[in-house]
């Protein structure tokens, strides 16, 4: 049985990766310091070995990596606003933490590291569709730290006998994603809907976004691990986009609640349209997003109701 380590495996995306790996027969170890993750995200996965630890801790990391074939590195200080408020902690976790993971991985003779990168590395979007070679000019400490970590990953892939794939996620949504006032629009809408609050749309709502379901993101992590001989960085999204007004309609249809919708001024720096080119991941990793937004939202709202996110 293949053994996998998931750093940040108690978080939103990491817990979905854990579920898929268990379903696929992997022996799974999760290392997480629970700073933004929840052990209950793993409650339905009793075979997962949970290690409460920090990716900055060399000793704990090397112990957790014993006998591991693949590392899924998701542990991070996540988000632009948090990074602006805590730039040093952001880099200590995202850059030095990633270097610690890479060092431990090569010493443990891990075959592959799959690193969760972010669209935040691009900064302000210059042109569409967003391919891998879109200008990379992060405009927050978070974007800069995710980029630095990505570069370290790719350097390790050149220097050592270690394959490293970086997956740059765009807007991910789905089960285990909890409400956070500065977070993504879908959990914010779900939270407001479930608490009888009006939904606020910035601008006219005709701006488009590409939302990718976390089950597709988990799947591409597995594909990246299983595709032998590949290192590199790939854009990961759904490849389709919807307007925020369409999102409002869909979410109230599946939620079965009719909220008031308020329109506010456009937010500074918000891009009008977003469209991501995922053909590289399609071609090289065999990635094919499979979850339709209406189905993904229905699944998410059912979960969100149970949790009252």
List, by residue number, the catalytic residues.
142
* Interaction between residue 12 and ligand NAD (CB under 6 A): yes
* Interaction between residue 33 and ligand NAD (CB under 6 A): yes
By CB under 6 A, the residues from 217 to 276 that bind ligand NAD are none
* Interaction between residue 8 and ligand NAD (CB under 6 A): yes
For 81, list phi and psi in degrees, rounded to 5.
-65, -45
* Interaction between residue 80 and ligand NAD (CB under 6 A): no
* Interaction between residue 55 and ligand NAD (CB under 6 A): yes
Rounded Cα–Cα distance for residues 157 and 147 (Å): 15
Distances (CA, A) of 104 to 62, 118, 142, 157: 5, 23, 23, 14
* Interaction between residue 210 and ligand NAD (CB under 6 A): no
Select the residue interacting with ligand NAD from 172, 224, 237, 247 (CB under 6 A): 172
11/255 with CB nearer ligand NAD: 11
Smallest separation, CB 86 to ligand NAD (Å): 12
By CB under 6 A, the residues from 121 to 150 that bind ligand NAD are 146
In Å, how far from its chain's centre is CA 123?
A: 17
Helices (H), 108-242: 141-159, 185-194, 214-226
State the CB neighbour count (10 A cutoff) for residue 120.
23
By CB under 6 A, the residues from 81 to 100 that bind ligand NAD are 93, 97
Spatial neighbors of 155 by CB under 8 A, at least 6 apart, are none
Taking alpha carbons only, the member of 151, 152, 70, 75 closest to residue 112 is 70
By CB under 6 A, the residues from 59 to 78 that bind ligand NAD are 74-78
Q: Exposed, middle or buried by CB within 10 Å (0-12, 13-18, 19+), for 280?
A: middle
152/259 with CB nearer ligand NAD: 152
Select the residue interacting with ligand NAD from 4, 5, 6, 14 (CB under 6 A): 14
In Å, how far from its chain's centre is CA 75?
A: 10
* Interaction between residue 13 and ligand NAD (CB under 6 A): yes
Residues near ligand NAD (CB under 6 A): 7-8, 10-14, 32-37, 54-56, 74-78, 93, 97, 116, 118, 146, 169, 171-172, 184
């Amino acid at each position: 049985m293949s053994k996998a380590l998931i750093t940040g495996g108690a978080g939103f995306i990491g817990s979905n990766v854990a579920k898929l790996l268990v379903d696929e027969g992997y022996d799974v170890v999760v290392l997480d310091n629970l700073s933004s993750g929840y052990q209950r995200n793993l409650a339905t996965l009793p075979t997962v070995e949970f290690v409460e630890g920090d990716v900055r801790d060399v000793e704990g990391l090397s112990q957790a990596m014993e006998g591991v074939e693949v590392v899924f590195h998701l542990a991070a200080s996540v988000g632009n606003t948090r990074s602006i408020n805590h730039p040093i902690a952001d880099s200590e976790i995202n850059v030095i933490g990633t270097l610690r993971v890479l060092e431990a991985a090569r010493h443990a003779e891990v075959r592959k590291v799959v690193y969760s990168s972010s669209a935040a590395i691009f900064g302000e979007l210059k042109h569409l569709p967003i391919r891998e070679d879109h200008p990379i000019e992060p405009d927050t400490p978070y974007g800069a730290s995710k980029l630095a970590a990505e570069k370290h990953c790719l350097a390790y892939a050149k220097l050592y006998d270690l394959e490293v794939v970086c997956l740059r996620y765009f807007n991910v949504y789905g089960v285990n994603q909890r409400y956070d006032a500065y977070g993504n629009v879908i959990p914010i809408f779900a939270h407001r809907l479930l608490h009888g609050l009006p939904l606020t749309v910035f601008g006219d709502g005709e701006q488009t976004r590409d939302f990718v379901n976390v089950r597709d993101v988990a799947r591409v992590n597995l594909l990246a691990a299983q595709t032998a001989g590949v290192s590199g960085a790939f854009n990961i999204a759904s490849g389709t986009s919807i307007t925020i007004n369409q999102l409002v309609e869909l979410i109230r249809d599946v939620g079965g609640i009719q909220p008031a919708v308020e329109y506010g001024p456009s937010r500074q720096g918000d891009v009008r349209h977003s469209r991501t080119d995922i053909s590289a991941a399609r071609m090289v990793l065999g990635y094919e997003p499979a979850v339709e937004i209406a189905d993904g939202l229905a699944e998410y709202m059912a979960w969100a109701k149970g949790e009252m996110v």
